[in-house]
């Protein structure tokens, strides 16, 4: 029996506490290591998914931010292998300054490539496929392979076909016809 004046813990009580602390620390550290490894695996997987989806996102952004400067002068046109436009979202250009750019499909040794080139840069390939890549344009509710408007307009949608399937379909983020000032008839001619 202990004396009422003695204060503190016995050696045996201290050893028990130290053993419990040691076991808890080892379990906690192992759990943290496993959690860290899981987060690292998730980050690598998300990065690989992002890299795989990046070409589609670049194409989507460039078409969604296509611009029309002049109501009568066409600046957007395309065929099965080229699509030219002016956009505020040129890939790899953080300035967001509208630039003319061109999406290009090319074939070499049975391998099809999709790339883009802006007026300030060289051709950047973003996608390769063993199947034929082609552009198509939705105009008047009909998909056509050549888009050459007489005045300034955008197609209602643009898609890239990969073989017999559609790799991506994008709708422009603005009206398909250039805006003409409403006061134009009231004031006569208007300089663009």
- Give the sign of the dihedral formed by CA 132, CA 138, CA 141, CA 147: negative
Q: Among 65-69, 109-113, 125-129, which is the least confidently predicted range?
A: 65-69
Averaged confidence pLDDT in the chain: 84
* Dist. CA 151–CA 148, nearest whole Å: 9
pLDDT at 185 > cutoff 70: no
Say yes or no to pLDDT of 143 above 90. yes
Which residue pairs, CB below 8 angstroms and at least 24 apart, start in 118-123? 118/90, 118/93, 120/93, 121/92
Task: Examine the pLDDT at 187 and tell me if it is beyond 60.
Answer: no
- Confidence category of residue 1, pLDDT binned at 50, 70, 90: low
Domain residue extents for the chain: 13-176
Residue 44 clears pLDDT 90, i.e. is over it? no
Q: Taking the C-alpha atoms of 155, 166, 98 and 115 in order, what is their torsion angle to the nearest 10 degrees? A: -130
pLDDT average, residue stretch 40-59:
74
pLDDT category, 78, cuts 50, 70, 90?
Answer: very high
| Model confidence at 192: pLDDT above 80 | no
Q: Tokens 């201290």 correspond to what residue?
A: 14
β-pair type (133-139, 82-87): unpaired
The band of 137, judged by pLDDT with boundaries at 50, 70 and 90, is: very high
Which of 49-53, 77-81, 92-96 is modeled with the greatest confidence? 77-81
Of the listed ranges 97-111, 132-146, 178-192, the least confidently predicted one is 178-192
| 129 and 112 Cβ atoms separated by less than 8 Å | yes
| Token pair for 173 | 């983020």
The three-state secondary structure class of 143 is strand
Distance in Å from the first CA to the final CA of the chain: 103
Helix (H) or strand (E) holding 47: helix 11-64
Q: Give the mean pLDDT of 146-164.
A: 92
């Amino acid at each position: 029996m202990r004396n009422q004046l003695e204060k503190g813990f016995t050696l045996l009580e201290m050893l028990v506490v130290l053993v419990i602390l040691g076991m808890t620390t080892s379990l906690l550290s192992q759990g943290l290591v496993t959690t860290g490894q899981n987060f690292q695996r998730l980050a690598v997987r998300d990065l690989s998914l992002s890299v795989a989806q990046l070409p589609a996102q670049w194409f989507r952004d460039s078409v969604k931010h296509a611009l029309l400067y002049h109501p009568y002068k066409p600046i957007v046109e395309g065929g099965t292998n080229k699509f030219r436009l002016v956009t505020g979202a040129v890939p790899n250009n953080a300035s967001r300054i509208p630039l003319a750019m061109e999406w290009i499909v090319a074939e070499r040794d049975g391998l099809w490539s999709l790339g883009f080139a802006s007026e300030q840069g060289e051709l950047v390939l973003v996608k390769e496929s063993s199947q034929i890549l082609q552009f198509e344009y939705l105009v008047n509710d009909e998909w056509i392979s050549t888009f050459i408007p007489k005045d300034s307009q955008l197609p209602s949608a643009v898609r890239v076909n990969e073989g017999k399937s559609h790799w991506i379909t994008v709708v422009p983020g603005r009206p398909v016809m250039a805006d003409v000032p409403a006061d134009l008839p009231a004031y006569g001619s208007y300089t663009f």
